[in-house]
Structure 1
Amino acid sequence: MNNDDWYHNDDEHDDLMGNIHQRTEELYRILSWELDEDGFFTCPAIVLEDVVVFPHMISPVFLSDEASTLAIEAAQEENRTVIALYFDDDAPEDSRERFLSIGMDIAVGRILTLLGGEHSALVQGRRRVEIAEIVQIEPYYIVKVRPVNDSYRITRHLTAMMRTSRNLFERCVSLNENLPEEAHLFSINISDPGWLADMIATSLPLTIETRKHLLRLIHPADRLKAVNQILAEELEVLELEDEIQAQVKTEVDRSHREYYLREQMKAIQMELGEDDLWSQEIRGLAEKIQALNLPEAVSAQATRELQRLQQLPPLAPEVGIIRTYLDWIVELPWTETTEDNLDVLHVSRVLEKNHYGLKMAKDRILEYIAVRSLKPKRLHQPILCFVGPPGTGKTSLGKSIASALGRNFVRLSLGGVRDEAEIRGHRRTYIGAMPGRIIQTMRRSGTLNPLFMLDEIDKLGTDFRGDPSSALLEVLDPEQNDAFSDHYLEVDYDLSNVIFITTANTLGTIPPALLDRLEVIEFSGYIEDEKIKIAKRFLIPRQLEETGIDEEGVQFSEQALMKIIREYTFEAGVRNLEREVGRVLRKIARLKTEKKRFPKKITASAIRRFLGPQQFFETEAEGDDEAGVATALAWTENGGEIMPVEVLILDGKGNLQITGQIGEVMQESAQAALSYLKSRAEYLNIDGEIFENIDVHLHVPEGAIPKDGPSAGITIATALISAFTGRPSNHMVAMTGEITLRGRVLPVGGIREKVLAAHRVGLKKVIIPEKNAKDLEDIPKPVLKDVEIIPVKHMDEVLPIALHEATPNLKTTRRKNSG
């Protein structure tokens, strides 16, 4: 920059200061309004919202509305002041008196137009005024005002307050860089206490509400008192800020000192031929990466990140992110594997030793081992899904399979997972980013081929953070999981050597695309005989050991176990059975520690003493043959149950009433059964006109329990036909099957559990759809010997089995309506 430029800039500065001085001089030439004989004057007014002007103070203001501009122009035509009005925040908006009772008489200079079309002017405060009346609103405000009387007498107390104000203000100026030193010098030369308070208030960064409060304080002593309180609070904050800044400066100086010392130490170590700790750490990471024999793409990525790390200073923010990433690369298993035990007989013995039953799951694992032993050219690891009620041994079977194969076992619970990043990980751009749970669990396994159990896959959730079940599609697809992509790693990871086993309680909530990738193995509920054997082989020995009385020779009789199963548990698995056995043994342990007698043989009669009153009451079979009643078979997550269906015929108008908390599907089955009955009325010797004069009430007991599904269709039809014909039903017969309008019987699910339920309550015959005959292979042979299974195709085959011929005493169940 040459000298001419300096002179040019100085000229511009002189012009600017001259312009400001000229505009200020104009303000002093504006006259104040003269008072009338009552001490009032009337003049235009403007509304100020963003600035509060105090007497003697000069400030720029922005004029946002046309009314303010018109008011100022009207006043300037007479070279007079205007009144500044301020909104009262506590007054209603539609109130005529929504302004503060105190305003400010101000002189307004020339109006300047800014680039955005807004207007600005320089104003000078003259005196506080009391608003007496708003004379005019449109096109601009005209008000009638009276100067406030702020007369006072200088006292020692007022002098002391002024001195306190100057001292506090001086300290604030010294600590606040935004307050100019000239402000303090100006305050020293002010002898008027009101002016001093207004000048300090103008200098401080106060809110509009605080400035309005000071504006309304008429007496100088009141203003000084309020200003002193504000100064004290501001000074306290400024001193705290100064203390914090001093601490920060100390920390920065210490960091600089440490940096210089480290650099000096590094230079000394280089002269001595030694490495510093940072260099040793970098070299250690490089050696680990070199020794891992990583895949080519992974090795290239790790090398790039290591080079970035070498170029950064040790205290750089990115160092921790890169170092954590390299730690994950180094600690993940890329090539480490365990050798599978391919001895089929050995695996079979381990599975039989640890688990009772579960034939399908055991056979599938043995088939996998047999195929592996033949060394096929291409091998897909199985993706199994164990589906069954809680407590049936799904997770424990996975542990046994891992133990039998010699693989590491890792487990990941998916219950309640709603974030896709839980599976795929977070991008490294996020603070606190981590790999997904799949990669975290693989790191914990330590090998490339563990047995990986994904528990509760049916309980995955979905929300705004993504769909975790969709992210699992790649994990559980044998065709693509050899290159699983985690957002954090940014390199492919091979999951093709992992045996994935998923568990679920139901298939209904698993998305179809995910279910298609799974090989489903159903875990049915255990029958009572199986539960007794499991208790003797596994549950009782384990609980004896956990309670510390395994050396006392305590035993449970079969009758005692049966009582616990029937009266104290209600489940398809054995989890609650083990819990109740543990309760009994803990009470015995207490008796032993109290030196009291305790039984070595737990009998059925002792169970009530240890476990208290009976907790569950099983639905009992009907005791007599009655008309209008039939027994259905239902499936629940806790196993099968019998479900009586009752029908009553009343005088009415042809309505069908269904009660017992029945779902929509079951209601449709009842409608279909009634329609079938009407279509076969002539064949069944029922007068067709009767349907218009009666109401049918169908009820399924235990109304507090929701019930749904089509499998009670033939039972409802049988109960309806029994009620209309008066033919009593055979109380030793139970049935299940869906009915069509033509009377065809369609297949249903849960046959094994339903037949076991019928056997448990002592029923002798079970009617099932013919297409469900294939499901009888899963039913234990002792049950098939005790219960006669009758497959049927049509309702015509059901009626001769389920209903007796009509008797003179039971011709109809039609009742007169008492209402």
Structure 2
Amino acid sequence: MPSPKKKRKSPDGSDQIKLLAIDGNVPFPNIIFPVVVREERHLQLIQEAITSDRIVGVFARKNPDDLLDESNDLFEVGVACLILKMFQSPDGSMRVLLRGLHRITLDKIIKEEPYPVARVHSLVETAGDSLKTEALTRAIADLFQQILALSPVLPEEIQEIVFSIEDPSKLSDLVTSALNLKVSEKQQILEENRITERLTILVRLLKKELKLIELNAKIHDRVSSSLNQTQREYYLREQMKAIQNELGEDEESNPELLEIHRKMDSLPLSQEARDAAEKELERLKLMHPSSSEYSVGRNYLDWLLSLPWGKKTDALLELKKAAAILDKDHYGLEDVKNRILEFLAVLSLNKEAKSPILCFVGPPGVGKTSLGQSIARAMGRKFIRFSLGGMHDEAEIRGHRKTYIGAMPGRIIQYIRKIGVKNPLIMLDEVDKVGQDFRGDPSSALLEVLDPEQNFDFRDNYLEVSFDLSNVFFIATANQEFTIPDALLDRMEIIHLPGYITPEKIQIAKRFLVPRQVKSAGLKSAHIRFTAKALENIIENYTMEAGVRKLEQHISQICRKVARKIAEEPETPRVNISTRNLETYLGPPRVFKEEVPHRDMMGVAVGLAYTESGGDVLPVEATLMKGTGSQKMTGQLGDVMKESVSTAISFLRANADVYGIKTNRFLDYDIHLHFPAAAIPKDGPSAGVTVTTAVLSVLLQKKIRHDVAMTGEISLRGRILPVGGIREKVTAARRAGIRQVILPAANKGDVVRVPDEVKNGMTFFYVSRYEDIESLVFHGGIRKVKKAKNKTSKEQKER
């Protein structure tokens, strides 16, 4: 049948019309329908149309997502509409009620701003065979009546309207607009200006719609007999599956699911992970992509399939090369380097060896994190850092159940996915600062992660399948060992990084810090030079730390000042940083150390302390005052040191007869103990010997040697107990000019680890009981000769 001639006719007396684009609907003549207008230019279009002819041309969009290019996104046939009413919404949008007038064809958009205006012409409908048209009209009415009987959505009043319409064109427009058809199907009917052909298309669409409604009713009848609340999800899936099979829309038509299936086949998944992925994929096949459950399942498969199930990096097993890398990156730390090389040696002989769980314990700034990076390079593994400081929620480790809103895997699985291999080196920083409260205990969740006997079967709450972490090399770091939970500490191999002594810091500054900061400041070796004495002066008088972080900051400060000088005066000769000009760049010294006594004094004993800043000399002062026998302690002491003071005084009171101490000394006098640098908190079990000596001195009114330093804990029976931090304490004694040190006998093996340049010229006294100390700190000793006349009572023997 030849195409009818289109008669050009202006919709409002002219060949121009204001253009309004709508989404998700198709306008029809003689149909009243609402439109929500949100875009600024369309709001202006409606406002100006109201003040003029109230006529707009309404066209449906082909792609509702493309809001930028209306010229190429509109269907060619639309409807000229009359604006009936408009309502302003509180959110700024406008609801407009339109009535379709007649079909129009879009010729050209002749204006884009401030709103689109188009040149259009009207479509003239052509009637066909009257008998065929009447038959199609009756068929449409009959089919529509059947649909109304089965569909609960359509109102019954529309049936009376349909049977009252005699015009076949109006009938087709009304029925089409009432049905829930696709936009493309409605547009097909709108564009057909031959009435007979239009009715034929509508009959075909009505038959398809009726079959779908009947099929839905059959499915409902088949499953409704056994339907209950727990079977609702199964019913919905079966219903969707039946509809998809009937329409020929099976899972193969979804390219996204096909891509997931191909990816799943290409990965070496464990059997458990493969079963979980297949189960989730089957669920997705029964869901519509726009549902929220589909997004949850899709994200789960993304996480599951993006993990490195079989991907590893080849470990570097050349011991000489690994040793060279460790030596290049760090000075000293021989114990740590030897432990890493031992593991590499074992791995070279046994490929299936489990990775150890190392824990570096040491003060801030000693290079724990950077050492982990060097180990990763030496082993040829990828490195990633995971900070545990302040973590409270155990879900950060194990993840959330995927049923929660916004659920994600834990940080361990996240980092494994990010790094892309299953055998990286993961550094768990600040393991001693993990929080614990009502929200959970992350340290308990770490037990499974850090246990080589369990972590091959690590289960994240989100994935709910086993993932092997036994190939991961975990290294933890901590500042203090005693704050780590015992169960977690038991799973780790502790390696202490005690901090650097001054000679080591000088070497580190020369080899690493100075070259790095000179380069960072844009300088060259020809611009600046640090003398060894200047570096030593910075270490001793401007920093108080076990590490080298503050030292590097001061070197950086000097380099910046030199860089400014050279930038202002390019001809400046090389700047030599020495002890003479150091204050020019850093100002006066900032570390004021506690001075040791320069002569023998009464009530002042020289102790040795181990702090986060390394070793230090800690003189302890004691004095007697008229009072009631009470004790007073100042200097911000912790509970451990307070107990040491109580133990020392109890020991002296129990042995008052041995030392010839008058009884009224404890009853009529108050004892005041002061630990200098009162603003700094102090705690730790190493001050017992020093406190005992200081108190005994004031009780006996005897002076203490000023050239002897001591450390050790004391028991109620006078035994000297071992302490920690020997390396740092001995270094502090040498720095203070003290060459004689009293140490517990049990710490004799720790002196071997003290560098020779520190030990040379020093004398060490190893004691196991307090009577061994008396002759070392008091000239001529202090025990009474009457000791031979001691009572033989049972109580005295026990003492």
TM-score range, shorter chain: 0.5 to 0.7
Counterpart position of 2:376: 402
2:535 maps to a residue whose letter is: L
Which of 600, 621, 625 aligns to 2:596? It is 621
C-alpha distance in structure 2 between counterparts of 1:400 and 1:262, whole Å: 68
Counterpart position of 2:89: 240
Identity score, percent? 48
SS of 1:501's equivalent in the other structure is: strand
Counterpart position of 2:268: 293
Pairing 1:313-462 to 2, within 5 Å after superposition: 313-375=288-350, 378-462=352-436
Cα deviation for residue 243 of structure 1 reads 8.5
Change (3 A) 1:666 1:310: same
Unaligned runs of 5+ in 2: 1-33, 35-86, 99-176, 189-207, 209-244, 783-799
Change (3 A) 1:655 1:330: closer
SS of 1:786's equivalent in the other structure is: coil
Counterpart position of 1:101: none
- Is the 1:482–1:495 Cα contact (8 Å) retained in structure 2? yes
2:522 maps to a residue whose letter is: G
Which of 278, 281, 284 aligns to 1:309? It is 284
Cα deviation for residue 660 of structure 1 reads 2.4
1:362 maps to a residue whose letter is: K
Cα deviation for residue 239 of structure 1 reads 6.0
Counterpart position of 1:515: 489
Cα deviation for residue 401 of structure 1 reads 0.8
SS of 1:368's equivalent in the other structure is: helix
C-alpha distance in structure 2 between counterparts of 1:618 and 1:730, whole Å: 20
C-alpha distance in structure 2 between counterparts of 1:360 and 1:733, whole Å: 30
Greater shift, 363-372 or 319-328, is seen at 319-328
Counterpart position of 2:623: 648
Counterpart position of 2:778: 803
Change (3 A) 1:436 1:806: closer
TM-score, normalised by the number of residues in structure 1 = 0.65
Counterpart position of 1:787: 762
2:394 matched to 1:545? no
C-alpha distance in structure 1 between counterparts of 2:91 and 2:431, whole Å: 57
Pairing 1:703-722 to 2, within 5 Å after superposition: 703-722=678-697
Counterpart position of 2:237: none
Equivalenced residues, count: 561
SS of 1:604's equivalent in the other structure is: coil
2:337 matched to 1:488? no
Cα deviation for residue 571 of structure 1 reads 0.8
- Is the 2:289–2:295 Cα contact (8 Å) retained in structure 1? no
Deviations 1:755-780 (A, max 9, x none): 11111111111111111112112211
- Is the 1:728–1:806 Cα contact (8 Å) retained in structure 2? no
Change (3 A) 1:334 1:248: farther
Pairing 1:214-233 to 2, within 5 Å after superposition: none
Counterpart position of 1:684: 659
Cα deviation for residue 649 of structure 1 reads 2.2
Deviations 1:629-676 (A, max 9, x none): 111111111111111111222333333332222333323322332233
Deviations 1:304-345 (A, max 9, x none): 222222332222222222222222122210000111111111
1:412 maps to a residue whose letter is: F
Deviations 1:722-758 (A, max 9, x none): 2233322111111111112222211112222111111
C-alpha distance in structure 2 between counterparts of 1:708 and 1:242, whole Å: 64
- Is the 2:634–2:673 Cα contact (8 Å) retained in structure 1? yes
Change (3 A) 1:572 1:278: farther
- Is the 2:562–2:575 Cα contact (8 Å) retained in structure 1? no
Change (3 A) 1:263 1:345: farther
Pairing 1:114-153 to 2, within 5 Å after superposition: none
Cα deviation for residue 262 of structure 1 reads 13
Counterpart position of 2:532: 558
- Is the 2:251–2:285 Cα contact (8 Å) retained in structure 1? no
- Is the 1:728–1:805 Cα contact (8 Å) retained in structure 2? no
- Is the 1:725–1:806 Cα contact (8 Å) retained in structure 2? no
Cα deviation for residue 594 of structure 1 reads 0.8
Cα deviation for residue 712 of structure 1 reads 1.1
C-alpha distance in structure 1 between counterparts of 2:509 and 2:285, whole Å: 62
Change (3 A) 1:247 1:327: farther
Change (3 A) 1:585 1:258: farther
Counterpart position of 1:602: 577
Cα deviation for residue 803 of structure 1 reads 1.5
SS of 1:534's equivalent in the other structure is: helix
Cα deviation for residue 551 of structure 1 reads 4.9
TM-score, normalised by the number of residues in structure 2 = 0.66
Larger radius of gyration: 1
C-alpha distance in structure 2 between counterparts of 1:247 and 1:506, whole Å: 71
Change (3 A) 1:278 1:626: farther
Cα deviation for residue 436 of structure 1 reads 0.6
C-alpha distance in structure 2 between counterparts of 1:278 and 1:419, whole Å: 42
1:361 maps to a residue whose letter is: V
2:554 matched to 1:580? yes
- Is the 2:251–2:257 Cα contact (8 Å) retained in structure 1? no
2:274 maps to a residue whose letter is: S
C-alpha distance in structure 2 between counterparts of 1:641 and 1:717, whole Å: 19
- Is the 1:727–1:805 Cα contact (8 Å) retained in structure 2? no
- Is the 1:656–1:697 Cα contact (8 Å) retained in structure 2? yes
Change (3 A) 1:562 1:261: farther
Which of 509, 524, 527 aligns to 1:535? It is 509
Deviations 1:536-562 (A, max 9, x none): 111111111111102535221011111
Pairing 1:80-95 to 2, within 5 Å after superposition: none
Change (3 A) 1:677 1:246: same
C-alpha distance in structure 2 between counterparts of 1:462 and 1:721, whole Å: 44
- Is the 1:647–1:699 Cα contact (8 Å) retained in structure 2? yes
- Is the 2:422–2:469 Cα contact (8 Å) retained in structure 1? yes
Counterpart position of 1:639: 614
2:569 maps to a residue whose letter is: K
Counterpart position of 1:500: 474
Which of 686, 692, 695 aligns to 2:670? It is 695
Counterpart position of 2:649: 674
C-alpha distance in structure 2 between counterparts of 1:622 and 1:693, whole Å: 29
Cα deviation for residue 467 of structure 1 reads 1.1
C-alpha distance in structure 1 between counterparts of 2:97 and 2:729, whole Å: 76
C-alpha distance in structure 2 between counterparts of 1:541 and 1:577, whole Å: 13
Deviations 1:373-404 (A, max 9, x none): 1126x522111111111111111111111111
Deviations 1:81-106 (A, max 9, x none): xxxxxxxxxxxxxxxxxxxxxxxxxx
1:389 maps to a residue whose letter is: P
Change (3 A) 1:278 1:769: farther
Change (3 A) 1:295 1:604: same
Cα deviation for residue 259 of structure 1 reads 7.5
Cα deviation for residue 280 of structure 1 reads 2.4
Cα deviation for residue 244 of structure 1 reads 7.0
SS of 1:635's equivalent in the other structure is: strand
C-alpha distance in structure 1 between counterparts of 2:91 and 2:534, whole Å: 79
1:285 maps to a residue whose letter is: I
After the TM superposition, which segments of 4 or more aligned residues of structure 1 sit over 4 Å from their partners?
241-249, 255-264, 273-278
C-alpha distance in structure 2 between counterparts of 1:649 and 1:674, whole Å: 13
Counterpart position of 2:213: none
2:453 matched to 1:479? yes
C-alpha distance in structure 2 between counterparts of 1:330 and 1:263, whole Å: 42
Pairing 1:718-733 to 2, within 5 Å after superposition: 718-733=693-708
